[in-house]
Amino acid sequence: MSNQEVVKRSCGTCTKCCEGHLASVINGKPIYPGNPCAILQIGKGCGDYENRPVQPCRTFECEWLVNPAVPEILKPEHSGVIITWQKINDMRFLKMTKAPNEPNTDSTTWFIKYLLMNSINGAWDSDTKKYWVGSPEFMQMMNTEYLSDDQK
């Protein structure tokens, strides 16, 4: 395979984005931890795939799906984490979210290294703590606006 060829990844049986690990609203119903999409068939996919809404279902793509730099072991159904682009105060950053697993040492190490090598702002949770790395502006924003009092 040449460097120009890109292997197209697919979700396959992965349903982590629909299981409630990422907050969303589908067909007017909120999705959040403990409250997955009502038509989800875990391990199979959407129970009404042909009629799923455009937002977020047809347009959502986790970073594993679209970025070949994300290793195979970080496919959400294998790793239990989802990497997505987020935006706070017009500042974009990559976020690694547990789905349902806490990020393990290998996934956290890869994530931090990737952020630093590519000068990307990033955030992740582990246990009950929040972590982030990035530009001075991103760090300041996260430190002042998004750090809970018990972590200051």
Residue 74: φ, ψ to 5°? -95, 10
**How many other C-beta atoms can be found within 10 angstroms of the C-beta atom of residue 6?**
8
Indicate if 33 and 108 belong to the same structural domain: no
Boundaries of domain holding 26 = 13-60
- State how far the Cα of 72 lies from the Cα of 66, in Å rounded to an integer: 12
Q: Are 125 and 97 in contact (CB under 8 A)?
A: yes
Structure tokens at 80: 């239990």
Give residue 13's pLDDT: 87
Q: How confident is the model at residue 152 (pLDDT cuts 50, 70, 90)?
A: very low
Number of domains in the chain: 2
Indicate if 39 and 104 belong to the same structural domain: no
Give residue 150's pLDDT: 47
Is the model's pLDDT at 42 over the cut of 60? Answer: yes
Highest mean pLDDT among 2-6, 83-87, 127-131: 83-87
Indicate if 147 and 90 belong to the same structural domain: yes
Indicate if 73 and 84 belong to the same structural domain: yes
| 62-79 b/e (C-beta count within 10 Å ≥ 16 → b) | bbbbeeeebeeebbbbeb
Is the model's pLDDT at 151 over the cut of 80? Answer: no
Tell me if 76 is assigned to some domain: yes
Indicate if 32 and 48 belong to the same structural domain: yes
